Structure 1
Amino acid sequence: MRKNLILGLIAGGIALGGFSSCSNDNATTSRFEVRLTDAPADYAKVLVDIQGVEYNVSGNDGDWKVLPLSRTGVYNLLDFRNGVDTLLAGAEISAGKISQIRLKLGENNSVVTKSGETISMKVPSGSESGLKLNLHAELKAGITYVLTVDFDAAKSVVKEGNGKYSLKPCLRTYEKAVSGAVAGKVTPDTLSATVYLLKMNTVSQKNDTVATSIVKSGSFLIGGLAEGGYTVQVAPAYKYAPKSVQNVNVKVGDIFDLGVVAFQ
């Protein structure tokens, strides 16, 4: 039985990305990442000073939380064209709702023309406090979500005349799914057990162990899994022989629910 992930989006989107898990900590958290990409523009460089990324779980101004940046500083948007992107920020955060994100810009924004001239760009006062994007998304525990922000340089750079430029950011977001998860329950719930996921390596034709999870209270959830077929093995710490469940077909964006693996 599979439980499909449901995402409610107002603007832009959320996506699934990949990570490996070696514990059961992700039963209450999700991996959330923000990535940056761009479309072509008729400049040599478009340099944007990104000083912060924050997310909001309720929509209230007092509920903004910091998403740690990969690096703070100037990004050349034109480095991320034709399907190329870069990680802006990411962290393990509590699973649940995200209402908004915002990008906070600094003052060191500029454009380099085709002739090689570097010209500073003024950012409108409203944008300096943060570029807000509405999401209203539900993050499920054990899944990695990647929000890709397309910072459209061609539309964002405005030529004001007299050789002056301003930056009026034009952003859109979109999603892509690249991972899934496996969940289940071991009974009795007092039984300590280790859960192994084995995936067939098409090169070596041997099973590779891709994730493990220590079960202490019965339930387990292993996320960030690539699409494909797995064998799940549940090995109690004592008394019982391991049990295996074969043909566990993990699909992108889904949590495959094994149900109950019972030991008596």
Structure 2
Amino acid sequence: MYSALKHKIENDGFAVVNEVYNAAEIENLLQTIASIDTSKPTFRKTNDLFAIRQFLKEVPGTLETIFNEQLNSIINAIFGEDYFVVKSIYFDKPEDSNWFVAYHQDLTISVDKKSDLKGFGPWTVKHKQFAVQPPLSILEDNFTIRIHLDDTDEGNGALKVIPSSHLKGICRPETIDWSIEKETTCPVQKGGIMFMKPLLLHASNRTSNHQKRRVIHIEFSRSTLPDNLQWSESLQSVSA
């Protein structure tokens, strides 16, 4: 199982694994999230989006449930034991959301400060958080998991991806040749996860079926940053 999963992630840039969490674990996560104070600056709330940045730092009560035996086994079998969390976000896409995300790659990492380093740039600052595009080698080596707290399909914003686009380096979405490329929608069951590579071109549609889409997005790396630059959210979690 794990060898086939590893092959799919390496070649397609993504894979879905259902039944990583049982109903009780999902309910525990939802109840823990519902009980927190949302007045902090790391929380963002609008009519069609609720997000928690630095999620695992803000909601540490979820750590034990998220990094259960099954998730740890899958990650260690596919990627080894050297990876650690470098970014985590919780997204709640409500039932009536018109939030549409166009095709893009995840090209930045979150760090603790701005530094003039060769191969790092451009830089941005958002909500007092520094982000930078790192050397391509770091993006190629990183991976992301998306934990789905609701059944997700094309009706409530399941990701659309272009398989194997992560193998082509940095791509401008406007240069996609739709006569060659094939778009794939990635439904995920409640309690399932989606693995993806940062350079995979991905997008999501507006909600059309009035169903919630709550996702915990966690990025992993094993790269040490240069010149005392630090990941803003480093957490040795895989072996938790």
> Scaled by the length of structure 2, what TM-score is found?
0.24
| Relative contact order higher in (CA < 8 Å, ≥ 6 apart) | 2
> Scaled by the length of structure 1, what TM-score is found?
0.23
**Structure with greater Cα Rg:** 1
Higher helix share: 2
Higher strand share: 1
